[in-house]
Amino acid sequence: MIMAEKEFPVAVIGIACRLPEAENCSQFWKFISEKRDAIGELSAQRAKDIEHVVKRTDREAFVNADRPFLTGSFFETIDGFDSIFFGISPQEAVYIDPQHRFILRSAWEAIEDAGIAAHIFGSNTGVFMGYPEEKYLNILPEINKAAAIGTHSPFTAARVSYTFNLRGPSFLVNASSSSSLLAVHLACQALRNGDCDTAIAGGVIIDCLPLCLKTNKLNLTGLVRQGAQCRPFDNNAQYTATGEGCAVLVLKPLQNAIEDGNHIYGAIISSATRQNGLKEALSESNISEESALLINAWKKSAIDPKQIGYFEAHAAGIKLEDTSELCAIKMAFDNLNDNEKESKMNKPCIGSIKANFGNFGASGIVSLIKVLLSFHNNQIPPQTNFNTPNKSVEWKQFPFRVNTEAIEWKRESKQPRIAAISSRGSCFGYAGTSVHCILQDFEQNEEKALDERHESLEPILISAASQKSLYGFISKLKEFVSTLKKQKQKDANVFKNIAYTLNTGREHRKFSYKALLFAENISQLERVLILISEHLVKRRELNTKILSAVEFENKIKNGFICFALDSNRYRTTNALQTTNTSIFFSIYHAITNREMIPWSLIYKQRRPIVAQLPTYAFDEIRYDCHSNAINNNSHCEEAATEDKLFDLNESSLTVKNEEALVDNKLKKCLLLSSFDIPDFAIDFVKDSFGSQLEIKHWSSSMSQALLESLLEEAEMFVLIITDGVSDKCVNTFLNESSPCPLLIIELIVSGIKRDWNQFSVDNRKACLSIYEMKKNYIKNDVEESELMKHGGYLYLSSLITRNICSMLTTSSRKAIVVSDQIKVSDEVLSNFLHTSSENGVFRILWSKNNDSDKFRLVKQQNEHLLSEFDVSLSSTHEYFNLNELCKLLKLDVNKIVIVHDDMQECLKILEKYPSALILCLSDDELQTKALLDSIWSLDSNKRFAKCSKIQKNQRGDVISRQKQEDRFDSHLCPTLKDFVKQIESCRQWFDKWPKELKTQQKIHHLSPFLTDESLEQIIKESEKREQISALELAWFEQLDAYPKDDSHFFICGGDSLKAIYFISKIRKTLKIDINFKHLFLNPKFEDLQNAIQFLPSIQTIDADLVDVNAPQMSSMQNRFILLQELNPKCAAYTECCAVCGTVDDLNFETLLTRILKTFPILKTAITEDESTREKKLCQLALEEL
């Protein structure tokens, strides 16, 4: 496959890379220029992060158990991430693979480097990424939906498209070591086909678990060895080394890049890919095919191979493979240059980046960036770890040479510089797909600036998502400008181009922290940047006040203004008064009013984009695999702001009740604040809990009606106040609010300390957290909105989250352990496991088999159950016992339930683990279901007990209560009788247990109905309550009013028709023989509920005795029956009709027949079966009438 031909070159307009000991492209270039290599041992921090995996791995599995990790080029840490910048919650960030995080950061850096950050969102940009490793899932302590998404490889590319709203094609490429360069090749193809206007191509590889195992493919093939160096082209090369890295390019058709004024690092004039096909073995390379690949690429690019000034080879430091690659290059050269000899002095250079960073999946695109930087710096860097040339290669006849010193590389006679890059599928031909690219430098014709070379005052806008990031970027820019001064690049156009790039090529709209500065030249820019740095250090929080034109002009006399946009202030409708206002104030007004910035007022024509300007300073914090964003909110606090407003002195936490922890199954929480808290801070709290807790917010500025509705629904209150709130207001809330669990957070902002001992919270569970503002912030009469602002609000939200968690979180999780040898019904066990998971119970599959046998066995027996378990463990593992398992998974051994269906096995388990609850399941499906439903220790709702409490204590909205009961029914049993049936069935099985199981320590964790006689009394009380509830609901449906004991049916609006429906509802619901007479004699609710206690049940009729053809009674006929029961002599049918004409003996029968046909009800009668007392309809003949 050939593409990106000479007729359609593709420009590289932005680059970014991140490698061990090289955080950006500048550091990368310096690193390779100094002939350094990053290959060594894994850092202590990373070794500690995966220590739990190493401990549970059999020592025999390692090549050397004392040195469990591979030798390679590794990042010092891999868990840093600026989640707030990318709009990702800290809770989700923990479960995102570090490779995804790295690629997000590098993609944004490349976009900024290309100068298109302000226009990238929503554009037709494609994303093409090389395939990463998939190991992060193996080191996570728990697996959930966030982890499933965060570690899914295809999301490497998709997450970039999603985050930046890119509409072009987006996919992942997997071709082993050549993946990243193949991604570049496919990106060029997409640009050529018109699938996208711009393309982002990249690759990332991070080995989260670099264990040196005997089963590792690199060890099995003998490619690696601990302590070895990577020596491409060297005669002593024996082993390669693994590596890590991340790199991204931004690509655009060359012609479009020229028209758009983009900086162009170089152009890809040809790229080709080829498979090795059939060869002697799958792992063998194919020299002839690789040679053909090079020849095709060179022909399509229309170059003479002698024009190639530098060749970046794949060369991974394996002597045999390096030799075969060099032979393929020689073969291709000889094919196009018959018998031509080159002198040693004129030979171009060949090199390999793998000597510096090892062999890794992203090395192809890193090699490409190395070539582009060689164009940019007019120099070919020296080859590292090269001492003695490979003796298997005839270097005198070879067209290239290895340079061990840096070589100047400039254009000669205006001839473009050409470079070639190769990337093979892997060492020894694994995957077998190779890629070859031809690059050409590009000499940009710099446009003349509008004002030639004279100096003029230029505005420069710098934006960031946080004050820390703003300061960080100012520092990076200051260092960059200082370097320019040392290099004596003080040309006015250089300064103007920097200003133009920062203003138009960077994103400003989405960031709230701003620095608007003014300078005339490089020297003045450096001075202003120093002043801004000092200002940001002194002023811990930027002002959000909007300045007038006069105030603005006074401020900028210092050369800059730093400010922040208020997140609560939206775009205003005030038009700018242009009279007597400067262009600079017009820019400031547009920024503060969230409008499009009028750069056209400054720039009358396009200026060149400056390459390698500093990129965004990310405010990264640590998200390691053991972090739990809900239970450990230090991440949230760090993410919110570096400048903590309040002292976090643990002594400030006062618990008003010793048992302050509340049920962690609460679903609705109401935040009440004495001051306004912006939506973004409340959203931060909501995101922290997700579906675990529904958060509603009310502040003192909102309506009282809204507060009343929220108070009715809340199951927990969080009161957030300052010391300015009076004791009277606090006391009123404590006395008048419902006794739900309460968390009070007080912020001391003016130094006034409240005496909390005067308040009583004895009727509820409550926690009090007091935070005192740091002394340098304390001021009198300061408004909270002015005090908190931006980072302060985010920090406050982290405090709220942490305190709610401390009140909700119990000490340890509960768990259910299931044997894989269990033979109970798939459906019963699956439903139980699913319900347990919803209640927050950890599910563990326990097997006596090894892993392969275990999955085979479970797959044969219960195939769909595999997905139900959170973790699968084998008792053959050395470390495994229940106590160690609980410690590893942070479980409470006293809250473990182990289920098995072998009675003897249960006794053995009980003997070994007496503190756990051991259950033996039955072969009977109903008994098994009943026993599993009786494990109340796994269900904090207490199931039937909760329903019983609802029935006993209910007063209020009948419809609301009915919904609660319906929810209970679906959770347990359709009816009370079903519940009783389950309990009785379970009792039968429970009685068969041996004494040891029936008297075990944790038997009280089962339903008490299994072991005591209270069920019968509860059933009677529940049946009585069920009758009352049915009466209440039927009364409410007919009269639209909740009944009191003295409510009178007919006085409350009832009539005979409503009475019919009311009686019918009662008969249908309670199955009792009630009629209209009972309601007439007992119209008061209390009398009626007493009367129904003595009414007989409706007799059920044998289906064989029922006349299925008997017509059903209408509501009119039902009414007639009830009236007849009430007063038999006064009941009659009445129908109105008009007869037109004369009625006599001759036509009476005909007329009556027509009337009866029109009104058939008039010829029906009601009879009663003497045995069943069932009422039936019968048709009377005309003669009987």
Q: In this predicted structure, what is the pLDDT of residue 194?
A: 92
Q: In this predicted structure, what is the pLDDT of residue 39?
A: 93
Query: Which of these ranges, 245-259, 625-639, 879-893, 894-908, has the smallest mean pLDDT?
Result: 625-639
Instruction: Please count the other Cβ atoms lying within 10 Å of the Cβ belonging to residue 1135.
Output: 10
**Buried (b) or exposed (e) across 250-274, using 16+ Cβ within 10 A?**
bbbbbeebeebbbbbbbbbbbbbbb
How far is 427 from 433, CA to CA, in rounded Å? 11
Percent with pLDDT over 90 in the chain: 23
The amino acid at residue 791 is G
CB 765 within 8 A of CB 660: yes
Q: In this predicted structure, what is the pLDDT of residue 959?
A: 36
- So where are the chain's domains? 2-440, 458-601, 636-808, 813-1012, 1013-1098, 1106-1185
Hey, what are 740's tokens? 């739900």
Q: In this predicted structure, what is the pLDDT of residue 1120?
A: 61
Q: In this predicted structure, what is the pLDDT of residue 240?
A: 87
964: CB partners within 8 A, 6+ apart: 950
Hey, what are 261's tokens? 């004024």
Positive or negative: CA dihedral 979, 980, 981, 984: positive
Instruction: Please count the other Cβ atoms lying within 10 Å of the Cβ belonging to residue 522.
Output: 19
The amino acid at residue 647 is D
860: CB partners within 8 A, 6+ apart: none
How far is 638 from 657, CA to CA, in rounded Å? 30
Percent with pLDDT over 70 in the chain: 71
Reported as a single tens digit per residue, the pLDDT across 679-693 is: 767 877 877 676 667
Reported as a single tens digit per residue, the pLDDT across 294-309 is: 998 998 888 888 899 9
Answer with the residue of higher pLDDT: 287 or 887. 287
Q: Where are the beta strands (DSSP E) in 1053-1142?
A: none
pLDDT band (50, 70, 90) for residue 103 = very high
Reported as a single tens digit per residue, the pLDDT across 458-496 is: 899 999 988 889 999 999 999 999 888 887 665 668 888
CB 251 within 8 A of CB 107: no
Q: Do the two domains 2-440 and 636-808 of this chain adopt the same fold?
A: no
From 3.40.190, 3.30.70, 3.40.50, 3.30.450, which CATH number describes the 636-808 domain?
A: 3.40.50
User: What burial class does residue 339 get, using C-beta atoms within 10 Å of its C-beta: 0-12 exposed, 13-18 middle, 19+ buried?
Assistant: exposed
Q: What is the CA radius of gyration of the chain?
A: 40
What's the number of CA atoms in the CB half-sphere (13 Å) around residue 878? Answer: 9
* 1052-to-455, 1041, 1058 alpha-carbon distances in Å: 90, 8, 11
**Buried (b) or exposed (e) across 972-989, using 16+ Cβ within 10 A?**
bbeebeebbebbebbbeb
Roughly what angle, to the nearest 10 degrees, separates helices 25-33 and 363-377? 80
- How high does pLDDT run on average in the chain? 77
Q: In this predicted structure, what is the pLDDT of residue 1098?
A: 75
Q: If you average pLDDT over residues 375-396, what whole number do you get?
A: 92
State if pTM tops 0.85.
Answer: no
DSSP character at residue 690: G
Q: Ranked by mean pLDDT, which of 178-192, 854-868, 896-910 comes out on top?
A: 178-192
How far is 139 from 53, CA to CA, in rounded Å? 7
From 3.40.47.10, 1.10.10.10, 3.30.930.10, 3.40.50.150, which CATH number describes the 2-440 domain?
A: 3.40.47.10
Fold annotation for 458-601: Alpha-Beta Plaits (3.30.70)
Angle in degrees, CA 705, 708, 710, rounded to 5 = 110
Helix-, strand-, coil-residue percentages of the chain, each rounded to 5: 40, 15, 40
Hey, what are 787's tokens? 């005090």
The amino acid at residue 1152 is L
Q: In this predicted structure, what is the pLDDT of residue 253?
A: 95
* 540-to-165, 562, 646, 861 alpha-carbon distances in Å: 33, 12, 13, 63
Strand, helix or coil for residue 249: strand
Residue 245 has phi, psi (to 5 degrees) of 175, 165
Hey, what are 92's tokens? 């989700």
User: What burial class does residue 789 get, using C-beta atoms within 10 Å of its C-beta: 0-12 exposed, 13-18 middle, 19+ buried?
Assistant: buried
CB 108 within 8 A of CB 616: yes
Q: In this predicted structure, what is the pLDDT of residue 216?
A: 81
How far is 527 from 524, CA to CA, in rounded Å? 5
Is pLDDT of 173 > 80? Answer: yes
Strand, helix or coil for residue 242: strand
pLDDT band (50, 70, 90) for residue 1110 = very low
How far is 520 from 190, CA to CA, in rounded Å? 43
How far is 1006 from 937, CA to CA, in rounded Å? 7
Helices (H), ranges, 201-352: 217-220, 254-259, 287-300, 319-336
* 3-state per-residue secondary structure call for 79-122: CEECCCCCCCCHHHHCCCCHHHHHHHHHHHHHHHHHCCCCCCCC
How far is 967 from 949, CA to CA, in rounded Å? 14
Nearest to 106 by CA among 133, 77, 126, 86: 86
Q: If you average pLDDT over residues 554-567, what whole number do you get?
A: 83
What top-level class would CATH report for the domain 1013-1098? mainly alpha
CB 799 within 8 A of CB 770: no
Angle in degrees, CA 170, 131, 221, rounded to 5 = 165
Q: Which CATH superfamily hosts domain 813-1012? A: HAD superfamily/HAD-like (3.40.50.1000)
Reported as a single tens digit per residue, the pLDDT across 406-461 is: 999 988 877 899 999 998 875 544 567 889 999 999 987 755 444 444 567 889 99
Q: In this predicted structure, what is the pLDDT of residue 786?
A: 44
β-strand pairing of 813-819 with 198-205: unpaired
CB 977 within 8 A of CB 1022: no
How far is 894 from 909, CA to CA, in rounded Å? 14
Torsion of CA 707, 712, 715, 716, to 10 degrees: 30
Q: Where are the beta strands (DSSP E) in 533-608?
A: 560-564
Query: Which of these ranges, 130-144, 234-248, 469-483, 928-942, has the smallest mean pLDDT?
Result: 928-942
In sequence order, what DSSP letters do the residues of 509-529 get, joined into one string?
TT--EEEEEEESSHHHHHHHH
How far is 531 from 557, CA to CA, in rounded Å? 12
* 254-to-182, 271, 373, 504, 546 alpha-carbon distances in Å: 20, 15, 18, 21, 43
How far is 820 from 857, CA to CA, in rounded Å? 8
